[in-house]
Amino acid sequence: MKLLLLEDDDLLADSLAETLQDKGYSVDTAARIRVAESLMASEDYALVILDLGLPDGSGLDLLEHWRKQGRDLPVLALTARDTWEDKVIGLRRGADDYLTKPFHEAELLARLHALLRRRSGSTTSIIEVNGISLDEHTQRVSTDRASWHDLTATEFRLLRYLMHHPNRVHSKERLLDQLYSLEQDAPAPNLVEVYIGRLRRLLGKQRIQTRRGQGYVFVAP
């Protein structure tokens, strides 16, 4: 699952991006509105973490612009503007949640999970598709809800994306885009095959099928 972090404080951006990656997210960062606009036009993000005071403009103006364009992805405002009036304005102009700095990482992660869970229609942290249960909080998977297997960060990111988009053909390029941020070195396409093979050994071969020349499908009834 890929996130966009728009934050002009380099130290905070690096620290938060590392935390989010440890929790199984792929994160692109931007410190300027013009960069965020370019990324938003070319990438497929599940959620945006948005600072409101940016060197080249207002994060709220950018958010309002995105909403007018019809972009409905969840946006978590992360800002030092901490009065109740600021929060009301932020939410009215399109933010789905509002967190003030300084903040606890656990609270930010909990709010982020809640936004993503609400968007997927789930009421718990466990995704269940075709007999497979994936716990997004513990990053473990089960085929019987009795025994659970730990996943590596990459295995978790790949399986979560497939389970959030079942019965769709995903090319290797799309899956790589979800697994790695733009700042990371370009991975070899055969890495997808490696991780698909690992997941098949855990879940069974029929759960993730290959469409020759097209990509992979997580099969749901």
Provide the pLDDT for residue 118.
85
**CA nearest to 13, candidates 24, 21, 5:** 5
Structural domain of 52: 2-120
Mark which of 100, 120, 140 sits at the end of a domain: 120
Mark which of 81, 98, 120 sits at the end of a domain: 120
Whether residue 173 sits in one domain with residue 134: yes
Cα 64 to Cα 28, 71, 81, 92: the distances in Å are 21, 10, 17, 9
Predicted confidence (pLDDT) per residue in 84-98, tens digit: 999 999 999 999 999
Task: Classify residue 200 as exposed, middle or buried by CB count within 10 Å of its CB (0-12, 13-18, 19+).
Answer: middle
Whether residue 93 sits in one domain with residue 180: no
Write the CATH number for 71: 3.40.50.2300
Whether residue 134 sits in one domain with residue 39: no
Whether residue 114 sits in one domain with residue 6: yes
- How far is 175 from 94, CA to CA, in rounded Å? 29
Mark which of 69, 98, 120 sits at the end of a domain: 120
Whether residue 19 sits in one domain with residue 47: yes
Whether residue 109 sits in one domain with residue 7: yes
- How far is 1 from 84, CA to CA, in rounded Å? 31
Whether residue 200 sits in one domain with residue 132: yes
Whether residue 165 sits in one domain with residue 99: no
Q: What 3-state DSSP class applies to 159? A: helix
Predicted confidence (pLDDT) per residue in 168-211, tens digit: 999 988 888 888 766 666 667 688 899 999 999 999 888 999 99
Mean pLDDT by 10 residues, the chain (221 residues): 94 94 89 95 93 94 96 95 95 96 94 88 83 91 92 90 92 85 66 92 92 92 78
Q: How many domains does the chain have?
A: 2
Whether residue 59 sits in one domain with residue 148: no
- Which two three-digit tokens encode residue 38? 């370019």
Written as one letter, the residue type at 72 is D
Q: Are the CB atoms for 50 and 115 separated by under 8 Å?
A: no
Q: Where are the beta strands (DSSP E) in the chain?
A: 2-6, 26-30, 47-50, 53-54, 57-58, 75-79, 97-100, 126-129, 132-135, 140-142, 149-150, 208-211, 215-218
Whether residue 134 sits in one domain with residue 83: no
Whether residue 162 sits in one domain with residue 60: no
Buried b (16+ CB within 10 A) or exposed e, 26-47: bbbbbbebeebeebbeeeebbb
Whether residue 34 sits in one domain with residue 108: yes
Write the CATH number for 132: 1.10.10.10
